[in-house]
Amino acid sequence: MAFPIQSGTMLVLASASPRRQELLRNAAIPFTTQPADVDETPFPGESARTCAERLAQEKALKIARHHAHAHVLGADTVVVVDDQILNKPMDVEDAVRMLRLLSGRVHQVITGVCLVKPLDDPQRPVSAKPPEPAPYAVLTADNRQLLIGSETTAVTMSEISDTEIREYVSTGEPMDKAGAYGIQGRASRWIPRIQGDYSNVVGLPVALVYRMLAGK
What are the residue numbers of the active site?
A: 76
- Tell me if 173 sits within 8 A of 185, measured CB to CB: yes
In b/e form, how buried is each residue of 139-157, taking b as 16+ CB within 10 angstroms? Answer: eeeeebbbbbbbbbbebeb
DSSP code of 192?
-
Cis ω for the linkage preceding 192 (within 30 of 0): no
Q: CA angle, 133 as apex, 29 and 203 as ends, to 5°?
A: 40
The DSSP result for 127-154, as a single string, is T--PSTT-SEEEEEETTEEEEEEEEEEE
Q: Dihedral sign, CA of 90, 45, 187, 15?
A: negative
What are the CA-CA distances from residue 153 to residues 87, 177, 208 (Å)? 16, 16, 13
Residues whose CB is less than 8 angstroms from the CB of residue 30 and which lie 6 or more positions away in sequence, other chains included: 3, 11
